[in-house]
Chains A and B, each alone.
Chain A
Amino acid sequence: MSITYLEAIREAQRRALRHDPRVYIYGQDIATFGGAFKATKNLAREFPGRVIDSPISEDAMVGSAIGAAIEGMRPVIEMQFADFSSIAINQIVNQAATYFWRTRVACPITIRLPSGGNPGSGPFHSQNLESLYAHFPGLVVMTPATVDDAYNMLLEAIEIDDPVIYCEHKYLYNRLKVESLKETELPPHKARVARAGRDLTIVAYSAMVHESLTAAEQLQRESIEVEIVDLRTVKPLDIDTVLSSVARTSRLLCVGESWPWGGVNAEVVASVATHGFHLLDAPPQRINSKDTPIPFSPNLWSVHKPSSQVIAAAARRLFDW
Chain B
Amino acid sequence: MLDTLKEHRGDVAPSLFSDLYITAFKWMLLARITEEKLGNLWRAGKISGGVYLGKGQEAISSAVGTLLKPGDLFGPLIRDQAGRLAFGEPIIDVFRTHFGLRTGPTLGRDGNVHRGRPREGQFPMISHLGSLVSVVAGALIARRFRGDRTAIGATTIGDGGSSTGSFHEAFNMAAVEKLPLVVIVANNRYAYSTPNSREFACNDLVDRARGYGVEGYSMDGTDLAECLEVVGNAIDRARSGHGPQMVVGHCLRLSGHAEHDDAFYVDKRLLESPIGRDCLKVAESYLCEHDWADKTQIENWKKAARQQVEEAVAIAQGEPQADPNEEVWCPYATESLAEAHSIR
Contacts and interface: CB of A to CB of B under 8 A. Distances in A.
B17 interface: no
A312 to B, nearest CB: 31
Interface stretch (B4-12, B133-141, B235-243): B133-141
A281 B17 CA distance: 82
B118 interface: yes
A209 B341 CA distance: 24
Q: How large is the interface on B (under 10, 10 to 19, 20 to 34, 35 or more residues)?
A: 35 or more
B166 A63 contact: yes
Interface in A172-225: 187, 189
Interface of B: 105-107, 109-110, 114, 116, 118-119, 123-124, 126-128, 131-143, 145-146, 165-166, 169-170, 172-173, 176, 331-334, 336-337, 340-341, 343-344
A238 interface: yes
Contact of A63 (B107, B135, B340): B135
Interface in A73-102: 73, 75, 90-91, 94-95, 97-98, 100-102
B318 to A, nearest CB: 23
Contacts of A59: 131, 134, 165-166, 169-170
Contacts of A71: 138-139, 142-143, 146
A162 interface: yes
15 contacts: A63-B131, A64-B135, A65-B138, A67-B134, A69-B142, A71-B139, A72-B142, A90-B166, A98-B126, A100-B333, A107-B333, A161-B334, A162-B333, A239-B343, A240-B343
B126 A94 contact: yes
Interface string A38-68: 0000000000000000110111111111111
A162 B340 CA distance: 14
A57 B172 contact: yes
Contact of B169 (A57, A106, A271): A57
Contacts of B170: 57, 59-60, 63-64
Contact of A102 (B114, B134, B138, B143): B114
Contacts of A90: 128, 131, 166
Contacts of B119: 105
B337 A100 contact: no
B141 A187 contact: no
Nearest to A240: B343
Contacts of B134: 59-64, 66-67, 91
B142 A140 contact: no
Contact of B139 (A67, A91, A94, A236): A67
